[in-house]
Structure 1
Amino acid sequence: MKKIINGFLPVFLIFACQNVLAEPFKIYGADFTGDEKGSEFCEKTIVAIQKAVYPREVSTYSTDWRGLDHAISHKEADLVIAGAAAYRRNIHSGLRDLLTSTAPLSPDPDHVMGSVIYVLAQDDRIFSLKDLKGKILGTNKQGAYRGELTVLKELHDQGYDPYNFFSKTLYLGDDVKARLKALEEGRVDAIVLNACFAENKRAKGEPDPTQHLRVINEKRNPYSACVTSTPLYPGFSILIPPHLDVTTVNKIYTELEKANKTMPKGYEWKIASDFTLIDNLYRDLKIGPFAHLNSQTMQEFFEKYKNYFFIGLLAALFYIYHSIRITFLVRRRTQQLQNSFDRERQLKDRIQTIDGKYQAFRSKQEVSQLCSAVAHDMSQPLSSILLFADTLKQMLSKKEKDLSVDFSKELAAVSKIGVRAEKLNSIVQLVREFAKGEAVLEHKSLNKVIGSTIADFFALYSLDQTILTYQLPKKDLEVYCSSDQLELAVMNLLKNSFRAAQSGLTTHIFLTLEEKDNRGLLKIWDTGPKISEETLEAIREKTRCRTTIQKGGLGLGLGIVKSIVSLHSGTISFEVSPLGALAVVVELPSSKVNGDE
């Protein structure tokens, strides 16, 4: 049995190797195995790969980018020769670059391929890239790397929306003549050709079909002698799928390095180092490996718009805070307004009460003054009449006795005069007593009486509280007084002081209350006009005369103020204030002193 197995094993291995070797080595590509096929550079590249994979036969397949991706993903390709876009698009499938091509006009493998946008030279509508907006573009294939994609990337880099820039795009295939014909016939406004197309034609001595065209968005690259409208990207790359063995890879690399010595001048296979331009193209256009950017997850959406989200959240929180604050302020202002209305009503009621008290007191004072004046004016004549009547009676009685004459009728008449005079004198005394009146006195805090008067003063005359500066002692000073009469007296002094202050440069009133030797010392002065000694003496003299009512307003004469102060066992005096105006000083005994008295 062992001999049988040892005999068949070599035969089986030989049969298996023949099957493997009989399978072709498939090379897939697009432009390189298509448009470039037949060129000396392409043929020598295929020959070098054939040497590396011998005895397997090389078979080349040309397809579009979709067929290329299918062959790579289904592991149908043993090797891929295509643009760098195919490499970066399929890097997730394990595809890796080995070598990248150069060209005579583009010696840097990282910057070889690009696109040129042409328009008719006589077209006076289009001179820049922005003039192409809304126009019709003619290019090779949809989604082609050297054609549509590089142009869309340039539009994106210049700030335009690449997918809504052209009104229409016509895909005219790889035949350059078809694109040139469409431009000449006016079916398109601009066409896209490969970079270095015109320069290569001129280098070969062939006619340049772009002579009657004009380049749009012309760029001069330090990496190439060709004019382009887009950046230059890496050239064709030899791409290795993950299932190709290392030995074959090394052989291919070695043979291509040898082939570089026999390649046409300027064509070589070199190692490229920078494919970021391709990655940026796919990322910005959101296609290929970055197509997922068009369908974002919640996390990606949040990451992208988190700043706007936080701004919106802050705005919402601010709106809520603002609404709550406004509601609170409206309620507080409404309550304050209601309280103001209530205080205004209370002040009106208090003003009416004060005014009623004043009117009653004024009427009483007027009657009292009138009664006092009548009693004063009649008391002396009545006393004289009584004296004369008594003297006449005595004289008639003596004459009657001495002369023995009957004066009975005259004596009766004189007696009647005396009786009537006595009667009239008693009436005058009653009037005088009525005029004096009797006020109800109580123990009161002079601080509170004056404080209440100040509040009523502001309310009654609707004045700014800044016009009055007052200072009251911290300790209450009690006096035995009629608070109503005392308030009216202080109110009158404040009103007179306010009127005087209005005549000065500034309007301000000063009030102080202090305790001195068991007496309350109230002093009021203002910023009114300065007074002379003569004027001060005239005011003092006025208060010594009988009381008079001032004309106009609600003010009481200083004489009545003096009578109120006198009723409370106080004194009133006048002096020149530190500012040179009139100062009124009222002294009232404390309740302790009154009580002792």
Structure 2
Amino acid sequence: MRDAARRFLVFLLAALSALSAAAQEIADAQIPQLRVGIVAFLRPSPNEPIIAPTVKLLQKLFPRTRVSTSVMTMQELSRAIQNRSVDIFIASAGFYRQESVNGASAIAAVAHVTHPNPNSSEGSAFVVRRDLPVSSIEELKGLRLMAATPDGFTAMRVAQGELLERGYDPLTFFGSTQYSGPGEKIAEIVKSLKGGTVDVGIFRTCWIEDWMRAHPQDKYEFRVIEPKTTIGACQSSTALYPSWVIAATPHLSPDVSRTIAKAILDMPATDSGHFWSLITDFSSIDNLFRKLRIGPYQYLREWSVRRIWESYGTILIAAFLALLALVAHAVRTSQLVKKRTSALRDSLAREKELKRAAMQAADHIERLQRSGIIGQISSMIAHELRQPLATLSLYTKGLRRMIRPGIDPQSVLGILDQIENQTERINSIVENVRSYAKSKTASRSPADLREICRAAIRSWQETGRYQNVSVHFSAQESIWLTVNSLEWELVVLNLIKNAAEAQKNMDHGLVSVNLARRSDNRAELTVSDNGPEVGEQVLEALSKPLASTKAEGLGLGISIVRSILEAHGARLEFSRNTPSGLCATVSIPLS
């Protein structure tokens, strides 16, 4: 018995503590005035029975606060929220979502014991006279419409969303549209339907059923088009949306909002079965407003950065990614083009090189062919000259025996010596030509290149040609080589002859022959003239085999010179002289 008394005492203290805390919370939340705004709804409304108990609860919750209520149109209530002249309001869920952009916050939504889900409680019904020959929403196109207001949620917006969902423009779907006005003026729609002045009326779900129950004479006058959703005995032509909402304005303190929310949610159901419940999903309303481009989505009616992003964000992202892919493709293509261009350039370079090699091969073949002709000519010359030369030699010897008395023998002998020397020289030349024709190698022996140059100059001077051209020779020292002296004399003689011929029409020509030892173990022989200026074509032609600068020349002289020099490892190059003329340079290895 004593334990039971102790437990009762603990329970009593705990209850008193809880009551004290609740009283303290209510006291902390007391405000001097609580202004409640109620949107002018269409009567009769199934949700109307919850309004009076809710106001009474608020008055009891704040006993020292003056709780005032005001019924306003949607436009008036919207201005009151913005002007901070209401603290909480009761309206359709659609109106609340429009005002959420101004900071309104939902506390609870109306539900019913027969359909307790507040997320889907209301819709709209297209109502016609029973005798009107239409059975689908599509058949309503072009008919005369009457609704309560142009911006009521279930009175117009939900029905417009249904038409838009079916691909119709709700602003042009009906032939004409009239409005009765809010509140009890909605009865004008019924009167107009019965009188035949309009064909279609839009009502909130359950409104027409409540009307026919209150007016039994109209029970069989009307019907709902395409009743696809039912709530109890009520029919709807559209999808269902959240019902009425009680919401706090942004300037109401959080403590007061929390106190109201707790009391509202604990409020028992009314005799009609209505109660306040938490609402968790406004997405259906948001999607409706987005399609209609109203409320928070009003900006979609105007072109702006936000609308462009909302409407075409995915497309813009795809376009941007496509652009990036295109740029990447262009960069890759550019790199491939560069690679291909480089490969093509290399291919062209190889092709040019092959062409150059082919041309060199063709030139070589031509040179061989022309050299073959020269060989044949050389054989002919050698064959034909041997007999006259032999005869000349016999006559010379006979002349020695036939010298008559009285003639100065020394003078005759001198002439004969010259004839014999020249005969031997001609014979040596013929033997060398025969050697070239038979591809034989001429014999070589040590010789002083300086003396070979002097001998060539004497031979040139003895010819007596081009008396207007003088030859100047310069050599600081002797340069010994193992060579065929006659071949090298022929080289120097040919170079001097070419230089002199270039100046044959000048008054005072000069051929300069210079021999010097270089520091790289080579000797250099230059034969230059001060003849006419040499063109690029002439200079280029001199570098080819069997080339000649004279129109009537076969190019044999330079070709023979090059052959002799190449056989001795030397090379011949031509360059322009300053200020005019040509310079032939022979580079000779000494080892």
Using the size of structure 1 for normalisation, the TM-score is 0.45
Using the size of structure 2 for normalisation, the TM-score is 0.45
